[in-house]
Structures are given as structure tokens and as C-alpha cells.
Structure 1
Amino acid sequence: METRWATVDGVYLELPNDCTADELRTALRKPADAVLIAVTGDLVSVVHDEEQSLTEMVAGCADTYYFRRPDEPDRNDVLSAPELESALAESTAAETTFQRPGIDH
């Protein structure tokens, strides 16, 4: 199994390439209600399908991940983006992707 390096909630970790959001949450002992948010260059992805391999989604290309819980204070510009609330409400696809806030397009 190949691995890669990424930052998860501020910690630089080695992650298996084919891990799922659920496996990552379990390995890092994050609460079940924490949603995985991935940052890939100028895109932000909210992962809705907990069992799909991250490599099959835009989220699999991320170099930074955050776990966000409901009603948690915003820690940065990504987690405070107004698009995030809409993305959390829309869970019809494996992930919801939007442009990263603060980047001119």
C-alpha cells in the first residue's frame, strides 16, 4: 500500500493512498459527527461518502484536511467560508467541491 504525506488538523502525517474518510476519522480518533474537509490548491471539498476511497474523489488530491464538527468555532478562512454551510447541507454526491475563499480566479 502506497502512502503520502498531508496535513490533518495542523499535524503533518503519512496517510495511506486508498484510505476513506471513515478510516481516517477512526485512526485519528475524531468524533463520529466530524465532517472531513479537504483543501486542494484553489478547491475545497466536503466529503459526504464516508466509505469511498479518497483517491476516487477530488479530496484524494488534497494536501490539507480538516475535521469540522457542527457548531464548532471557525479556525480559518476555509472553515468560515459561507459556501461550507451550503456544501454541508447538500449531500447528494460523494463530495461537494467549491472554490477556496480568498483566492482570485
Structure 2
Amino acid sequence: METRWATVDGVTLELPDECTVSELRDALYKPDDAVLVAVTGDLVSVVHDETRPLSELVAGCADTYYFRRPNEPERNDILAAPELEDALAESDDDRADSETTFQRPGIDH
């Protein structure tokens, strides 16, 4: 299994390519209600499928990840994006999609 470097909630660490959201959450002692948000260049992904390896998702290409909890203060523009709130609301509807991806806020195309 290969590993790569990524930043998770401001801490740079080695991240196995085949790890899942659930495994990452457990390894970092994050609460069960924390949702993984991945930043890949000009895209942001909210991961809904916690058992699928990140390497199978757009989120697996990210170099920056955040765990976001409901009702927590907004730490940056990405976590404050209205698209993120929409993606989190959709995840509550038992979506079939494994992730929701949208363009990163503040990037002009």
C-alpha cells in the first residue's frame, strides 16, 4: 500500500492511499459526526461513502482535508461555502453518490 503526504485539519501527515474516511476518522480520533471535506486544486469534495477507499474517489487526489462537524464555527472560505451546506444536507437524504464535488470558492474560472 502506497502512502502520500496530505494536510488534515492543518497537520501534515502520511496518508495511505487505500484508507477510508472511517479509518482516517478513527486514526485521528475525530467524532463520528465529522464529515470529510477534501480540497483538490480547484475542486472541493464532500465524502458520503465512509467505507470506500479514498483512492477510488476524487477526494483521494486531495492534498488538503478537513473534518467538519455540524454547527461548528467556519474556519475558512471552503468550510463556509454555501455549496458545502447543500452537500451536507444532501448526504442526510441517503444519497447513492459516494461524494459531492463542487468548484472551490474564490477561484475564478
Instruction: Percent identity, please.
Output: 79
Alignment-derived partner of residue 98 in structure 1: 102
Alignment-derived partner of residue 3 in structure 1: 3
CA–CA distance in structure 1, aligned partners of residues 89 and 48 of structure 2: 10
Gaps of 5+ in 1: none
CA–CA distance in structure 2, aligned partners of residues 50 and 89 of structure 1: 16
CA–CA distance in structure 1, aligned partners of residues 57 and 68 of structure 2: 19
CA–CA distance in structure 2, aligned partners of residues 97 and 53 of structure 1: 16
Give the TM-score taking structure 2 as reference length.
Answer: 0.95
CA–CA distance in structure 1, aligned partners of residues 85 and 68 of structure 2: 11
CA–CA distance in structure 2, aligned partners of residues 14 and 83 of structure 1: 29
Q: Give, in angstroms, the shift of residue 15 of structure 1.
A: 0.6
CA–CA distance in structure 2, aligned partners of residues 15 and 99 of structure 1: 24
Q: Give, in angstroms, the shift of residue 89 of structure 1.
A: 1.3
Gaps of 5+ in 2: none
> SS of 2:7's equivalent?
strand
Give the TM-score taking structure 1 as reference length.
Answer: 0.99
